[in-house]
Amino acid sequence: MAEFAELIKYVNEQRSDDQLFYVYQLNKLQQDICAQPELMGSGNIKE
């Protein structure tokens, strides 16, 4: 039973690490888009 508990603990730690990684990647992507608005192409509204 202890092995199963350790497995669950390990899986939860991995999931937490994955979530942090995805948050970092999404933030970096958002910053890149904001820094280079021309990447958005013709979707921009120009006044």
Q: Does 43 map to a domain?
A: no
Q: Does 42 map to a domain?
A: no
Domain count, the chain: 1
Q: Does 9 map to a domain?
A: yes
Contact assessment for residue 37 and residue 44, using Cβ atoms and an 8 Å cutoff: yes
Q: What is the pLDDT of residue 35?
A: 86
Query: CA-CA distance, 47 to 29, in Å (whole number)?
Result: 25
Which structural domain range is residue 25 located in? 2-35
- Entry pTM: 0.55
Contact assessment for residue 31 and residue 38, using Cβ atoms and an 8 Å cutoff: no
Q: Write out pLDDT tens, residues 1-47.
A: 789 999 999 999 999 999 999 999 999 999 998 888 665 565 556 55
